[in-house]
Amino acid sequence: MNKTFRKIVGGALAVTALMGLAACGSKTEGDKAEGKTYKVGIVQFVDDASLNQIEAAIEAELDAKAKELGVTFDYTLYNGQGDATTLNQIGAELVGKGVDLIVPIATPAVKIMQSATEDTEIPIVFSAVSDPVGSGIVDALDAYFDSLTPSLLRGKRVLITAGPTYEKIDPVRFIGNYSTGKMGFAIAEECRRRGAEVVLVAGPVSQICHKAIRRVDVESCEEMFNAANEAMDEADIAVMAAAVADYRPAVLADRKIKREKTGAMTLDLLPTHDIAAALGAKKRDGQLLVGFALETDNAMVNAQEKLVRKNLDMIVVNSLQNEGTCFQSDNNKVTIMGHGFVEEYDKKPKSEVAKDIADQLEALLQS
């Protein structure tokens, strides 16, 4: 990796005095470098001492991003803390330097950079995370580079259900399953990356998602059903990745059931809503509905039957017979089936499976 880094001191005292502290450097992919060098102006909003402290962290984040994207960043880092005049001067200097993008961290900087670049084509990319250490910068750069990738999912409203549902027996016990939500969260992230507006209706899971995804946390099938139904009205695409419990106790005990008093017991169960089938029944022309099929045997026959019965446009089939896939795994091995097509994929990380699913969604949107 070819890296230079220097702080502007001495000869640039005028600049330093005006702008608090400015530092510049270059993050390069080195011999693997491909594509463009981006001149980036980063406007931080911390005091000089703090900026000094976090420079190394920012360097490291930019370094990783440059490697990942295969691009070079020539960056200038400013401390924009001060008054509006300071920020205006930073804006003018960045325009004068001919930077390719400006990443302002903090709202006052965003506004002033926007007005400073009004007559230029320079994009202002910003993150709602005003994290001075660098994740805010990386987040903004991610959004910018994602936006350069054309996708048919851009601007589409995508509803995704993910994770298990818990059906309460009493205040401390429930009927549930092993789903972690990883697959649904990976699809949500991939759709977001491709520019979709994502609503993620998530059962009880410990996954985290990007702040741009609208997450609705639910627990039971009833709650997931209500949230999904509401979001379906606005959705262009719905992906049912949740492992919904198929039964719920007929009676919910309001106190903990005591073993000693109860002895052997039988639970009366009632079927829950079939969320996918309900959305399939009300699907409008132009809406796409995707389901999953988790099977232990006769996978393709059962999946084909679900495709038709739930009025789906596509179904992602996974089998519990493939070791190291499905529940609690980071990998999955799927077959994607639609009306008139079947495609079988190798075992791969769920983030990659999500890309295959998003590609198939784009193919459906095109057809």
Is the Cα torsion angle 111, 113, 115, 119 positive or negative in sign? negative
As measured in angstroms, the least distance from the Cβ of 170 to ligand CTP is 22
Q: Give the residue with the Cβ less far from ligand CTP, 25 or 291.
A: 291
Asked if residue 158 lies in contact with residue 237, where contact means CB atoms within 8 angstroms, the answer is: yes
Q: Give the residue with the Cβ less far from ligand CTP, 103 or 276.
A: 276
* One of 90, 101, 231, 240 touching ligand CTP (CB under 6 A): 240
* One of 103, 235, 242, 288 touching ligand CTP (CB under 6 A): 242
Going by C-alpha positions, the residue among 33, 35, 91, 92 that lies closest to residue 63 is 33
Asked if residue 267 lies in contact with residue 276, where contact means CB atoms within 8 angstroms, the answer is: no
State yes or no: residue 354 binds ligand CTP (CB under 6 A): no
Binding flags for ligand CTP, 205-234, as an x/- string (CB under 6 A): ----------------x-------------
CA distance 278 to 280: 5
Beta bridge partners of 323: none
CA distance 111 to 134: 20
User: What single-letter DSSP state applies at residue 69?
Assistant: H
Helix-helix angle 107-116:84-97, to 10 degrees: 50
| Residue 71, token pair as written in the block | 């691009």
Asked if residue 139 lies in contact with residue 209, where contact means CB atoms within 8 angstroms, the answer is: no
Nearest-Å Rg of the Cα atoms of the chain is 26
Task: Judge whether 177 counts as a catalytic residue.
Answer: yes
As measured in angstroms, the least distance from the Cβ of 225 to ligand CTP is 8
As measured in angstroms, the least distance from the Cβ of 319 to ligand CTP is 11
Rounded to whole angstroms, the maximal C-alpha distance in the chain is 85
As measured in angstroms, the least distance from the Cβ of 234 to ligand CTP is 18
**Percentages helix, strand, coil for the chain, rounded to the nearest 5?**
35, 25, 35
Residue ranges in 262-291 that form contacts with ligand CTP under rule CB under 6 A: 272-276, 291
As measured in angstroms, the least distance from the Cβ of 6 to ligand CTP is 55
As measured in angstroms, the least distance from the Cβ of 275 to ligand CTP is 3
State yes or no: residue 299 binds ligand CTP (CB under 6 A): no
Q: Give the residue with the Cβ less far from ligand CTP, 42 or 276.
A: 276
User: Vertex 36, ends 5 and 103: CA angle to 5°?
Assistant: 60
* Residues touching ligand CTP, count (CB under 6 A): 16
Which of 177, 229, 302, 322 is an active site residue? 177
Binding flags for ligand CTP, 317-346, as an x/- string (CB under 6 A): ------------------------------
Residue ranges in 95-124 that form contacts with ligand CTP under rule CB under 6 A: none
State yes or no: residue 294 binds ligand CTP (CB under 6 A): yes
| Residue 352, token pair as written in the block | 């990659």
Binding site for ligand CTP (CB under 6 A): 161, 221, 240, 242, 244, 246, 272-276, 291-294, 306
What amino acid positions are annotated as catalytic residues? 177
